[in-house]
Structure 1
Amino acid sequence: MTAMLSASPTSAAPLPRGSGQRLLVVDDDPRMTELLQTTLSLAGYEVATAGCGGEALRAYADLPPDLLLLDVLLPDLDGFTVCRRLVDNGARLPVLFLTARDSVEDRVTGFAMGADDYLTKPFSLPELLARVHALLRRAGRSAEAGPLLCFADLTVDERSRRVRRGDRLIALSPTEYKLLRYLLINADQVMSKEQIMDHVWQHHFGDGVVEKLVSRLRAKVDTHAPALIHTMRGFGYSLRLPEGG
């Protein structure tokens, strides 16, 4: 989808640069794709491109990127469907939606599908580079990662990012993983929607974004008793055993 971008920075601050991370840009507009590929390549990233959803899925299978920049309006599969299929197949990478669709419902849908950020066209290139840099930094694996995080029969391995409930391996999107980890390290405490938005996205959106994300996470984690993710109506959410559990 065609959109104008501005290359003028809003300040004299140096733009963030990459260090060879692999990015996959998915957009059906050749001019947009060329501009993004050139800009990101000059900023120090290794950039692959795809012009439709099916091509994006094949590109991911051939060589998984470190971050996905994904347009919503594609000629075959829309960006939401591409994101959902990758997540359902166990993909764990940051996803930045680039789209002219800026309604609240579109944002809620995007985040519920596993997106980590949402940039509305038209946008400035400095803002794009800042968002990409921030997502990669937040998704980076620390050499000082701690041991297993455990609660009841739920375990999270911070080195491998593997999540298990008992013997069952659970495939989570990066956003779902961040939410689960946040609830786990604050187990038995109630975390408000505002706290969750600050931690997971560092942006504030409508309450529906958090509700859909919690619902998706609960559907993966709480497939058998006892349920661990609880809604504390009027307050927020908590990872805890049921009363008497």
Structure 2
Amino acid sequence: MTNRILIIEDEESIARVLQLELQFEGYEAEMAHTGTDGLLKYREQQWDLILLDVMLPEMSGIDVLKRIRATELQTPVIMLTAKSDVEDKVKGLDLGANDYITKPFEIEELLARIRTALRFSQKINGQEVAQLYGQLSIDEQTREVVYYGNNVQLTPREYDLLLYLLKHPKQVLTREQILEAVWGYDYYGDTNVVDVYIRYVRHKLETASNEPIIHTVRGVGYVLKEHKHET
């Protein structure tokens, strides 16, 4: 089945180029040029992914994102913006965006991020969807995370990170492996983003229980491993 993508972008020339590129790649793509129109189209139809510009007339992309995440967490959202400020990126991700790309960008990079976001959002039908390890469980259908019997609220990116670790228990994963699997593109520069999100996830898990489960392997990366009864 063809994936359907909604492009919410006020610069019509950019939106049209994105639409043509996505259609060439086999996606269905529709456009909206204001925040209000974009939110209306989002509510009227079913979408597999949303490309959402931050700076929009009538309603900002951040406000559109807030309204989307107030009702559901499943549909992947990739933010588009001309801003490069780290604070803006963190704000969008904390509000539930799955990814964030700064203009100008290469279309190949955007397509890679779209493929990754869609891969993580695929629904599993008729199969067991719970991932379990020790006192940690994740239901991939509801995206519910439970640690020592307590619900843990994660952003979409934090969820993707923890799910990846949970699918590779006891395996030491390098920062580069995590970045490629969770962010879905080659990252040229430092890998501090992995450390930052590991810290976010650890803090939220420790709120549910003080028992550590994500461990640092100095000079290598991270491993998900129960502290008790492990060597």
Q: TM-score, normalised by structure 1?
A: 0.66
Pairing of 1:14-29 with structure 2 (within 5 A): 19-29=1-11
Match status 1:211 vs 2:181 = no
Q: Which residue of 2 aligns with 1:232?
A: 216
Higher mean C-alpha displacement, 134-143 vs 58-67 = 134-143
Structure 1 residues 213 and 89: alpha-carbon distance in aligned structure 2, compared to 1, 3 A threshold: farther
Shift of 1:68: 1.4
Number of aligned residue pairs: 227
Q: TM-score, normalised by structure 2?
A: 0.69
Shift of 1:197: 0.8
For the 8 Å contact 2:99–2:157, the answer to whether it is kept is no
For the 8 Å contact 1:226–1:242, the answer to whether it is kept is no
Matched residue type, 1:149: Q
Q: Which residue of 1 aligns with 2:32?
A: 50
For the 8 Å contact 1:114–1:176, the answer to whether it is kept is no
Question: Counterparts of 1:243 and 1:110 in 2: how far apart (Å)?
Answer: 37
Matched residue type, 1:73: M
Structure 1 residues 197 and 63: alpha-carbon distance in aligned structure 2, compared to 1, 3 A threshold: same
The alignment partner of 2:73 has SS state of coil
Question: Counterparts of 1:215 and 1:186 in 2: how far apart (Å)?
Answer: 19
Question: Counterparts of 1:193 and 1:85 in 2: how far apart (Å)?
Answer: 33
The alignment partner of 1:20 has SS state of coil
Question: Counterparts of 2:148 and 2:41 in 1: how far apart (Å)?
Answer: 33
Question: Counterparts of 2:192 and 2:57 in 1: how far apart (Å)?
Answer: 28
For the 8 Å contact 1:26–1:70, the answer to whether it is kept is yes
Higher mean C-alpha displacement, 22-31 vs 146-155 = 146-155
Higher RCO by CA contacts (8 Å cutoff, separation 6 or greater): 1
Q: Which residue of 2 aligns with 1:37?
A: 19
Shift of 1:69: 0.9
Q: CA RMSD in A?
A: 3.9
Shift of 1:150: 1.0
In the alignment, which of 116, 129, 132 is matched to residue 114 of structure 2?
132
For the 8 Å contact 1:92–1:173, the answer to whether it is kept is no
Match status 1:65 vs 2:47 = yes
The alignment partner of 1:223 has SS state of helix
Q: Deviations over 1:151-185 (max 9, x none)?
A: 23321234554433355555545433321122113
For the 8 Å contact 1:179–1:200, the answer to whether it is kept is yes
Q: Percent identity?
A: 35
Matched residue type, 1:68: I
Structure 1 residues 28 and 186: alpha-carbon distance in aligned structure 2, compared to 1, 3 A threshold: same
Q: Deviations over 1:39-73 (max 9, x none)?
A: 43465433343334455445444445211112233
Structure 1 residues 161 and 118: alpha-carbon distance in aligned structure 2, compared to 1, 3 A threshold: same
Match status 1:150 vs 2:150 = no
Match status 1:193 vs 2:175 = yes
Structure 1 residues 195 and 183: alpha-carbon distance in aligned structure 2, compared to 1, 3 A threshold: same
Shift of 1:84: 6.1
The alignment partner of 1:150 has SS state of strand
Shift of 1:104: 6.3
For the 8 Å contact 2:147–2:208, the answer to whether it is kept is no
Q: Deviations over 1:108-134 (max 9, x none)?
A: 666566555544434455665555345
